[in-house]
Copies of this chain bind each other. A is one copy, B any other.
C-alpha cells in the first residue's frame, strides 16, 4: 500500500494549574478517522509546559506524581528560577521535561497497540488556558 498520513490538533483546558487528563479515547477516535491500519502514531504536546506520556490511570499514582514532581522541581518560591522574570512557570518547563513531550505508539490492525495498563495522558503543568496536543499518524 502507499504511505498515508493524518493530522489533528486536540484542544484541552485544565481547570487547575496542574492536571493529568486521560486522552486515550480521543486518540482512538483520531485513529478511526485516519483509516490507517499499520504504522506509527505520534502524540505530542505543542506547548513546552505540558506533556504527553503513558502510564496507569490510577488516582493514587497520579497523586504520587504530583508530590514527586513538586519535590524534584518545586513551583515555589518563584524567585528561585531565572526564567520567572515575567513568568511564573519555570517549574512547569522542568516538570514536563521529567514527564516527556511525546509518545510514539504502534498502530496494528487499525488499533493502538498498547499494553494491558497503558493509557495516554495529557499532563498539564501550567493550566487554566486552552492548549494543544498534536496527533500525527503515518502508515498504510
Contact = CB atoms under 8 A, between A and B. Distances in A.
Interface of A: 1-3, 5, 7, 38-40, 42, 44-48, 53-56, 58-61, 63-65, 68, 72-73, 81-85, 90, 93-94, 97-106, 108, 113-118, 132, 134, 136, 138-140
A138 B138 contact: yes
Main secondary structure of the interface of A (DSSP, over half): mixed
B83 A7 contact: no
A103 B102 contact: yes
A132 B104 contact: no
A82 B65 CA distance: 10
A79 to B, nearest CB: 12
Contacts of A2: 1-3, 140
